[in-house]
Structure 1
Amino acid sequence: MTDIVVLGAGYAGLAAATNLAGRTRHRGDLHITLVNASYRFTERLRLHSTAAGHSTADFDLREVAAKAGVTFVQGWVTAAGTVRVDDDRTLSFDTLIWALGSTADTSDVPGAAENAYTLDSFADAEALAARLREMRTGAVLVCGTGLTGVETAAEIAERYPDLTVTLRGREEPGATLTPKARSYLMAVLTRLRVRVESGAEISKLLPGTADVVVWTAGTRVSPLAAEAGMTVDERGRIVTRPSLRSVSHPHVYAVGDAAAVRQRYGIMHGTCQSGMPTGVHAAVSIARELAGREPRPFRFGYYHAPISLGRRDAVVQFTRPDDSPRRAFLTGRAAVWYKETVTASPWPTFTRMVEHPGSASWWPRGGRFTR
């Protein structure tokens, strides 16, 4: 019996587990285990909406695991050389898929961990939503002017117009967009009365900085890979070969935010747009290995950057494969429709992979991914 353990059930990990289960469902010599801290699947793309008080769907990982014939283990991973979870269970494996993802990095700024909300999980978003609901007036400070910060600030400002929302960070919001798309984004933030403070270095967060502080300034990955002796980059991500195998531990595949995957244009940055294709590619690679064939190199190119600006507006920047902006972009209702279409819940996709795993096989081979 070959034991395969998938650590993490976010977009990348769940894509890997369900696709591999579908590709190997006729084999009787394979056992797949999926480990995750919660039984609820977290749609991270929608956490800013959850935080603003909008209802989001509740997907149970145990259901899709049972349908796929995968063993689901709920628990925090506490060691990775041999996989241990927080209730002292030890899981043996022949192949490991590392998909532990990333979390908000509050480590470098004193007071950030103690005084700010993050959007790492559904529980985090619900806690922020509960706090915002009890406020009639007050100040909300969103730290980080990246796309998550922009979406969070716009969503809160639209839902709670009596609150004063400030977006603060080093760069101008929409810095990666074309000038016209960025101008549109800034105009919407102005219409929503979001105060923008760009070029601002956040060196410390003291109690009372604002009534509510939301931290979206940067991410970090689990230190467990480095502690297990794997080769990692300066951010702690597992360095991979073109097949997505670890360069130091060939029985480990790294996918999603936790992997440092090099393409012709450089190291990929973590998004759902790139995470699910890495998960599918890991599944394809392992299936090829089990059939006695060598894995193929992973190839990926970006296609777009969809940014919601509340529930009724958005901007979608189309990109080159290296994520640099093209001239084309969408705004307004067309952008809202586009974003809702391409970022619709992947849950049906995960369940479909069990019966039709080949339907996703084009993701890692092609140049672009639009879902």
Structure 2
Amino acid sequence: MGGIGLEHHRSSENQQEPKSWTDWAGMDWDRNVIAHEFVHSWNGKFRRGADAWTPDYQQPMQNTMLWVYEGQTQFWGYVLAARSGVQSRDMVMAMFATAAGKYAEGTPGRSWRSVEDTVNAPQLMRRRPLPYTSLTRSEDYYVEGALTWLEADQIIRKGTGGAKGLDDFAKAFFGVRDGDWGEVTYDFDEVVKVLNGVYAYDWAGFLRTRLYDTNQPAPLNGVQMAGYKLVWKDKPNAYEKGIAEERKTLDLTYSLGVTLNKDGDVTATLWDGPAYNAGIVNSTKIVAVGRPCLFVRRDEGCDHRREDREGAYQPADQARRAVSDGGDRLPRRLAPPLAGEHHTGQGQRLRQAAHRARQVTNLS
């Protein structure tokens, strides 16, 4: 069935894997859709962007405020899943780590395309698979939006000495007209006004810089202000592990720069990563790992013989590519920062990662 959801005003339609609730520990990674769609009753259905409201189905909706509609819903989906016990705290921390890793090193498209511009992705892409999404970007207003709201929460907490947080914004913004089942619209200026009512700050500048500008630093401020840092290790975190086991995939984005399915087909390539620069792109099939593939048998795959005595073999570079040694490296966890540690540039880190295992661990 898959873990997808559709929000309604007083309910939600939630589709999950059949064992999501019976295999409680094993499917912990898959249950966030419940909390996410629950939040949409307030954020998206009751309060919705002014240009997303239409009087009838003949008028096209606009999506300029999806970084609130979906971005803050994604944030609260993480938070409420952990608070309610629908997902474990460790799993939600791993999800935050995966998000931080993606936008720290897995999305070079941040250099030219803003989060706000990705609100057009549903109309442009219609969720069809497109090549090089790390460069073109997709619906990043969800998760990068959530990291932006995490930073907003931390700014409020720091500025008020812990007395207030984004919970107070939610009460003021969503908790109006109790019992009203209609729709109350908002725009950018109202979001800024309510934020300033919670804690006075340059919220207009904050939101425009984080969401409307391009080529911004990785959105890690919220993580770091909360007392954590992004840590890279040689094993996937619980969230990435759960996805890989269920979907039979192997994510090598942060080492070789590719993602593979169970048949060895490349399903995603990191733009300007090691694999991309070696000519390994979507639809390439990996037929050997660990040693050169000298010949590919036309009917069977890779063979390591040097001789083609019967004409049954052809040079590998004329058939399907083989990949030699490479480590895997994934966002695994966020850990308290250690003195003297720092981040290196993306290009240098990717080249180094091609020769050693490196993944991100959990938030702790």
Greater share of helix: 2
Give the structure-2-normalised TM-score: 0.23
Q: TM-score, normalising length from structure 1?
A: 0.23
Give the greater-gyration-radius structure (CA): 2
